[in-house]
Structure 1
Amino acid sequence: MSVPKAPTPQLISVNKPISQQSSFVLQKVVANIKRGTAIGHFPSSGNMGSVGVDGYLCNDSHSGKSTMDWGAGSSVLGNWSTELGEIFYETLNTNGFNVAGDPKDLFGQNKSVASAEYLVGASITQIKSNFCEDHHWWDGRPLNEYSGEMYLNVTWTVFSNLTQREVMEIQSGGYHRQIATKKEGIILTFHNAFAAAVESFISTKEFQDIALKAENAGSTLQAFKGQPLQLVLPEVSQEIIENKLDTVLSAVVTIRSGAGHGSGFIINEDGYILTNAHVVNEATNVAVILNNGLEILGEVIRTNEQRDVALVKVPLRIPSPLPIRHKQAENLEKVYVIGSPLKEELQSSVTSGIVSAYRNSSDPNSSYIQSDAAISPGNSGGPLLDQYGNVMGISVSKLTGNSAEGINLFIPALNALDALKIIPQ
């Protein structure tokens, strides 16, 4: 079998302290290989000479076409707490990257997965190998000991725990040659080829930008690249929200797509609505339900998956859109959240809290308003309002875990406008 020789990756010297890096954990390793695919050959002694491995009378007891076939189809091979997780942990840790938890900690898996900023999934899409089964020098009997070579092709997916979306997908190859014959030679070659694929993965600029929190990290997703859109937006309000709650509620909508439902809010009298990109998903049209029960068809005008924001247009004139304020959120400022949590029947639900922090960053895609104002699935895309009913942010995600409580994140509203190239008039 022709086995590719993946180049040895050039790893950088990581000087950034672990405490200032993003943290990772291996969530799952799966094999995506068709059942019955030949993943290894046992060539005759003469054909193994070019591989350069030990072994006497290589595969002498094999006859005809001797192959090792994949028999499981798509299957889960490991996760954080398995040997593959240990290989992932040791490779990142040895090279100076921040990997959450320790696979040897029998009781820390859930805590590590919840605390990691990024979850990593690995899909093995190709295995190619040649192996030599050693035979006894005297009587020629097989010894069940193996040497050989193996190549893996792995597709890596990185998922942000913070924004609840995939931020990177990239492929890497890993090659290993097992020179000495060993009883566990085949599985040892597989593990070392996987380790080589991990090293190749973490040597990529895309991974290192995320790990070291470089500017524009995770920007491989397609962003909106259209022309600027000028919209007339309402003036910032100075009237307290309690005096005009019905008007505010009328500007918050429920959005239904094939992926489920979320929330949104009207920003312009001509029927423009802001929401999350993950609410509309890849749809070109969505159902928009006003708080009075009217359901109309909305067109997805533009999306920016990078910042997780989208703009929807309905063919309806709306007299009272929500104003967007320009002042940055301040700690302890009182805020309100409106949306449709969990199910559509709970539309116009209102929760309140304070601004816990403004998580600013040199990368605008990583800036968030943090608040204890409660949100749930279905709130995504709804507004975070100040005490005057001005939009400060867009509900996007919450941190969950055994000890997490009241850590809810919102995309700054002005950042959303910038991401969609909306110019206020």
Structure 2
Amino acid sequence: MTTIPGALNQLALSSARRPRWAALSLAAGLTGWALNAVADIPPPPKFSQAEARSVKGEDLKSTVSVEKIKIGILQGDELGHSRFGWFCVNEQPMVVNEAFLNNYGALITSVTTQELKRLGYPLAGAGKSNAFDTDIAAAPDFRLGGIVKEAKFEICSLNGTAEGWIQFKIDWALYSERLQKVVYQASAEGLGQSKDKITDLGKRAMISSLSNFVAAPEFLQALKAGKPAEVSADGAASASASAASSAQGAAASPNLLTLKGGALAPGGALKNQTALRAAVVTLETPSGSGSGFYIDREGYLLTNVHVVKGAKFVKVKMQNGDKLVAQVLKLNERSDVALLKTPAVELEPLNLRATALDVGEDVFAIGSPLGVLTNSMTRGVLSADRSLQGRRVLQSDAAVTFGSSGGPLLDAEGRVIAITQGGVDAGKGFNFFIPIQEALRSLELSVK
């Protein structure tokens, strides 16, 4: 593994002016020092360091995940200077290059995660019982992100070590999943310095900036104020329905949740498309967007697991432009279906079809392609009712694309027959949908 100081020159030193220290003998080095003198490293700027205290033993419940730190400086920007060898000669300029932009954010992200762990902050993912779970309890309550706004290097390197100083200025932000907004942000400088050649000079600068941020009382207050989500629905104790319980049938489960579905309006899907489209929403998460639809006036929504995976809360955008926040209540990763809940809504939820549809009948898909073409409605036919990899799926040529996942597939009467999952190849008509009754069984739901 490349150490942080060892990576400094690889990431930022102008390669055209890189010295050839490997070819120099000790005698030649001494001669160079005698002729040119030892290069002076300018002193670092004045700096104030706050100490980040450990929170171990404080019974902090809210979990944090660290998003990849972004680089907010431009390629070609000057970073400072690098010198080489025991006598710190041959001063070279350091500039931001492509390697710095591509790799340094991940480096700071890793250091930040390890430091938060050392300080005792609960990290998201610790609640996962095995590598294959999609556990709502393992999703973060908060996300910590940052943008490197300034970086300054005045160092002397030798064999993976460095002396001198490195300074960062990072704009940090703490994002609440429950509130779907940034609850605390601040710009924090960090300084790593040493008069001896050490292996962790860059790491010290990163931790220094993080310490100045988390040492602020507002940071810990925000974490304590953001109570972890109660992942339950009317007493449903399980966050996700297992495949085994799905196979046995939802009716036998003690976690069965009964909802009141929407009424079927006369006239069919085309005549009632305005009301049907109003019940379909756009879902936005840190990783992208998708679709969902209401099945109960109390605010219950269905969508795909892959739309909301890794989140406890998601943004909901209604057709009329209103925005809500939905909590993820239940997941079944094998079936790729999820149950969400917002506050109660003043609209008619979709009616669910209890029987199978014949191949060749008309179907209608509603969703938000690309996350911006909200509530788009496309028409096709049911092409097949088949089994793929041990799961029943419906196939249709009704057009869907990225962002349509999680939306409903309707019959000609306007009843939901399936949930959009995706296609083999965009534009080829090989699109697949999860039968609605399979989805309900997977989530241990009963809809009247």
TM-score of the superposed pair, with normalisation by structure 1: 0.45
Kindly indicate which of the two structures has a greater share of residues assigned to helix: 2
